[in-house]
Chains A and B, each alone.
Chain A
Amino acid sequence: MITFIKNSIILLLVLILLGLGFIYSGLYPIGADKQHNPLTFWALETLRIKSIARASKDIKVPPLTDPKLLLSGGADYNDMCSGCHLKPGQKESDMTIGLYPKPINLTLSLQEQGHAFDQKNADDLDKIARQQFWIIKHGIMASGMAAFGPTHDDDRIWAMVAFLQKLPELNELQYQILTARQ
């Protein structure tokens, strides 16, 4: 038994040393024009999905139906988000081509964005709203998604969430009118 524990500790130390050696070797390709290997991709995606789900689960979603929210949230979206997450009628931008992971096209429907989503289920909509709020407020490490919490209060962030819920339905003219700052 003692031999087994001793061997396990040695194996663990060797693995840690190999891991550190790999990190310090600089061999991992870090350029955004290369893709992660499937294992790293799976690990980071799972980490992101589970972390956001856990961190956002207790957030209370306020009513998001006031049309005024679309004006406040729309203007902020246009200024801060549209470069990466696009506008109606736009298929790509320098940022969507150059960033890795590629930013989600938020002008697409929730299903097209890859959400497991049932339109009749209010809990699904609530969950997506909670997660969008959390992501806008806190950002996502090493993804290009900035945290807007330090510079924008919760009301402005919820207004952006309200706008995001309507964005897939907007045409170019509706978008222009809603997002212009007067």
Chain B
Amino acid sequence: MFKKLSITLTGAMLMFTVSAVNAHSPEMHKKENAERPNCQAMANMDHSKMDMNDPIMMAMMQQCMGNGTNNDGHNNGHNNGHNNGHNGEHKDMNNGHGDMHKNSDGHNNMKHTQ
């Protein structure tokens, strides 16, 4: 009796575990939660005050480089601004993007500065 119960419980737990592993793959999360990163707001920041060696900044750059719709202006601006020292060019990137602060609630200043 006890052996039967143990086998049934173990089987049920195994089935639950297998189904749970499938349910929580990153691909599954992607479908459920497809919010896009707000890379346009990042393009509006003063890049001269950013530390490009900061892991947080590097991760944000990677995220936005992988985002086909929002990253073009930002990446071009980043390269121009930091390789050539033309910080003023970043402000021009944002012309025509009046809605870019929708999700940032005005928090467009990075905490990590040089």
Contacts and interface: CB of A to CB of B under 8 A. Distances in A.
Interface of A: 65-68, 70-72, 74-76, 78-79, 89, 150-152, 156, 166, 169-174, 176-178, 180-182
B62 interface: yes
- The 4 tightest CB contacts between A and B, nearest first, are A67-B59, A70-B59, A67-B58, A180-B37
9 contacts: A67-B56, A68-B59, A156-B26, A172-B105, A176-B35, A176-B103, A177-B38, A178-B60, A181-B30
Interface in B69-114: 103-105, 107-112
B111 A180 contact: no
B56 A173 contact: no
A74 B34 CA distance: 14
Contacts of B23: 151
A156 B21 CA distance: 13
B55 A65 contact: yes
B23 to A, nearest CB: 7
B42 A177 contact: yes
Given A152-B24, A173-B42, A180 B104 contact: no
Interface residues of B, number: 37
Contacts of A71: 59, 62-63
Contacts of A68: 59, 62
A172 B107 contact: yes
B64 A177 contact: yes
Given A150-B20, A151-B23, A70 B56 contact: yes
B67 interface: yes
Given A150-B20, A178-B56, A173 B38 contact: yes
Interface string B6-34: 00000000000100110110100110111
A181 B41 contact: no
A150 B14 CA distance: 10
Contact of A169 (B17, B37, B62, B112): B112
A71 B58 CA distance: 10
B103 A182 contact: no
A78 B26 CA distance: 12
A181 B24 contact: no
